[in-house]
Amino acid sequence: MPGPTADLFADDALQQPAGREQIGEQSYVLRAYALPWVERLLPELRRVLAQSPFRQMVTPGGFTMSAALSSCGELGWTTDTRGYRYSPLDPRSQQPWPALPDALRELAVLAAADAGFNDFAPDACLINRYVPGAKMSLHQDKNERDYSAPVVSVSLGLPAVFLFGGHARSDKPQKISLFHGDVVVWGGVDRLRFHGVMPIKEGVHPRMGRQRINLTLRTAG
Ligand code: MD3
Ligand code: FE
């Protein structure tokens, strides 16, 4: 078993020198890209979550998702027994979702541009919280109106193994480790590829504690 020091070193800086890794024809991991932004993002995130706290949602099939969700921006993604959709109101409060924080928008627009997508204009940010054991099954993101816009995701906290599949559910997925501060940009021909997250391994992140938070920015409306 690694001790606390090993955990610390296994984490951010050493395993992920900043740099861009291409994972698909139009998809890139920007390693450690968000690290300089984290101390601006966390207070913004705290404000968002005070207004729209994490909650576990039920899929149309009747399963409770293991990841807890919230949203910010003009549109938020929700699911219930009636289906998946984007909505301008948080169903919990019946109020608009919290605004998309400035630093988060800036970071996402810069990351998209670095991956070749200029003029990214996100209107929705889905916030996923995973505790150890939580996962996301292989799926496609098909609720957005315009698939020409990329998706930008920011990983915070515990590491995850991201599954990046193909256009058919049966295509064998690549496994890509994502660490605190990594940003991933997916777009173009990769936009409708199946993807998921393996169950998060037990651990405690030195900054984020016993959780992984993923922020996914999209143009949904
Ligand atoms: C790849 N979230 O919220 S990053 C999701 O880590 C979701 O929480 C995962 O899948 C997470 O829908 C993965 C986001 C992501 C979003 C859209 C994609 C990855 C994608 C579209 C195409 C390919
Ligand atoms: Fe997804």
Mutate to test the pocket of ligand 1, among 153, 183, 198 (most ligand atoms within 8 A of CB): 153
Distance 48 CA to ligand 1 centre (A): 20
Q: What is the pLDDT of residues 140-163, one digit of tens each?
A: 999 998 899 999 999 999 999 999
Distance of CA 147 to the CA centre of its chain: 17
Find tokens 């670095």 and name the residue: 114
- State both tokens at 167: 């256009």
The residue type of 177 is S
Domain that holds residue 42: 4-218
How far is residue 2 CA from its own chain's centroid? 27
Q: What is the CATH number of the domain that holds 53?
A: 2.60.120.590
Q: 185: CA distance to ligand 1 center in Å?
A: 10
Q: Is the CB of 200 under 6 A from ligand 1?
A: no
φ, ψ for residue 191, nearest 5 deg: -60, -30
Determine the Cα–Cα distance for residues 35 and 157; give it in Å rounded to an integer.
11
Nearest to 148 by CA among 119, 171, 173: 119
Q: What was the pLDDT predicted at 18? A: 83
Mean pLDDT over 123-142 rounds to 97
pTM: 0.93
**Ligand with minimal distance to 191 CA:** 1
Paired tokens of 219:
């143009």
Q: What is the mean pLDDT of residues 41-64?
A: 96
* Count of domains for the chain: 1
